[in-house]
Amino acid sequence: MGYASAMSEPIQIEVHSDAVCPWCYLGKRRLEAALAERPDLPVEVRWKPFELNPDLPVGGTDRAAYMAAKFGDGPGLAAAHARLVDLGGRAGIPFRFEAIQRVPNTRAAHALVALAGDRADGAVEAIFAAYFERGEDIGSIDVLVRIAGSIGLDRETTRARLAAGDGFDAIAVEEEAGRRMGITGVPFFVFAGRWALSGAQEPAQIIAALEEVRASLARESAPSDGR
């Protein structure tokens, strides 16, 4: 790869996230805002699974009880939701936490993203919107099949593959690889397989990271002066 091609080839961005992580939805919006601001920084985005609650039953669990057990009955949860509603509103996300009745097991949702192939971004977007904006149970195969249809996938094929657990084991393998990399929380962005950015950073921070990565790749590919 020569110097010129290093400057023009897309930077690979792996986004590790979970469908029930509101900060991941916010991180997606901020990444999109950064890329819209800097179209001269070509990238290829790949979505990677990270289940925050891998041990939940397949049918999920009651959200009110789950959140009370995790955060207690104090004002902390309400304050966290209010902050996310504010930040989400600025980014164009109408969070409706009050509509969410269940915390789902997200293995099937991640499988749908993998099955979506080059429509993975659309699948991620639709899953986030279903859960955080409409309170739908994204652990339900019926819901996921409807989402699949909305992005142009064949519904019956998707239903059969999800019901058979197609790709579920591969998700666990990818998550273990992420943990070996040191990923303990999401969203987590990996640039060009080597540089990382953790959390739902502001677009300016994402742009700065991309510029640094591009500069580093260009330096590595610059021709030697022969000395």
pLDDT digits (tens, 9 = 90+) for 14-71: 999 999 999 999 999 999 999 999 999 999 999 999 999 999 999 999 999 999 998 8
Strands 11-17 and 43-49: parallel
What is the pLDDT, as a whole number, of residue 34? 98
**Per-residue confidence band for 75, with pLDDT thresholds at 50, 70 and 90:** confident
Residue 224 — pLDDT band, cuts 50, 70, 90? low
Let me know how long the chain is: 227
The pLDDT value given to residue 70: 86
Domain ranges across the chain: 3-221
Residue whose token pair is 């961005």: 13
Q: pLDDT tens, 91-119?
A: 999 999 999 999 999 999 999 999 999 99
With cut-offs at 50, 70 and 90, classify the pLDDT of residue 7. low
Specify the pLDDT at position 74. 78
Which CATH fold topology does 3-221 show? Glutaredoxin (3.40.30)
* Per-residue pLDDT at 145 exceeds 90: yes
Note the pLDDT of residue 3.
Answer: 38
Which alpha helices (DSSP H) does the chain contain, by range? 3-8, 22-37, 63-71, 76-91, 107-115, 120-134, 141-150, 155-163, 168-180, 203-221
Return the percentage of the chain with pLDDT > 90, whole number. Answer: 89
Q: How confident is the model at residue 223 (pLDDT cuts 50, 70, 90)?
A: confident
Average pLDDT of the chain, as a whole number: 94
pLDDT at site 8: 72
Taking the C-alpha atoms of residue 127 and residue 56, their distance in angstroms, rounded to an integer, is 18
pLDDT at 226: 52
pLDDT of amino acid 85: 98
Q: What's the rounded Cα separation, in Å, for the pair 140 and 67?
A: 20
- Residue 45 CA to residue 100 CA, distance in Å, equals 28
Q: Which pLDDT tens digit goes with each residue over 205-221?
A: 999 999 999 999 999 98
Question: Which of 4-13, 84-93, 165-174 is least confident?
Answer: 4-13
Region for residue 74 given its phi and psi (left: phi exceeds 0; alpha: psi -120 to 50; beta: otherwise) = beta
Position 142 scores a pLDDT of: 98
Report the percent of the chain where pLDDT is more than 70.
Answer: 95
